[in-house]
Amino acid sequence: MERWHDWLENHRDWWIDLVRMYLGGVLVYKGLQFLADTDSLIRLMELNNAPYASTLLAHYIVIAHICGGVLLLLGLLTRFSAMLQLPVLVGAVLFIHAREGFVSPGSNLPYASMILLLLLHFSLYGSGRISADFYIETHKSV
């Protein structure tokens, strides 16, 4: 049991890397869902008085989720890809899900808030040892 505990202590950052990879996968999946039904995304944003803005914003959301999600999954340009998502999630939390309430049945606010906090974490701290960023950094020729 002690060996197992020592291994876990020495590889603590691997768990957050697994969270980063999962988060990237979830963002890619959500981006593909939005891509498959862009009209629903535009209706969700309720910017009917500015249809061109809604369309441009919908494209940004799809591209940010798919491209940023793949980068997060790989741990490549981790801080950049997390920051790319922040405006989307801040908008989702403040303007889309806030009116649902935090504890009302079927509310997506807790999930969107959790994703926002995870993106803030990866924006500040970057990726761990299981990432393309770490590999590139440790294999640079001086």
Q: How many C-beta atoms lie closer than 10 Å to residue 10's C-beta?
A: 9
Q: What is the pLDDT of residues 2-40, one digit of tens each?
A: 888 888 888 888 889 999 999 999 999 999 999 999 888
Q: Which range of residues forms the domain containing residue 101?
A: 19-140
How many structural domains are present in the chain? 1
Task: Give the angle subtended at the CA of 7 by the CAs of 79 and 135, to the nearest 5°.
Answer: 35
Q: Could you tell me which of 31, 28, 12 has the C-alpha nearest to residue 73?
A: 28
Domain contains 11: no
Q: What is the pLDDT of residues 56-95, one digit of tens each?
A: 888 999 999 999 999 999 999 999 999 999 999 998 898 8
Domain contains 12: no
Torsion of CA 52, 54, 88, 72, to 10 degrees: -70
Domain contains 43: yes
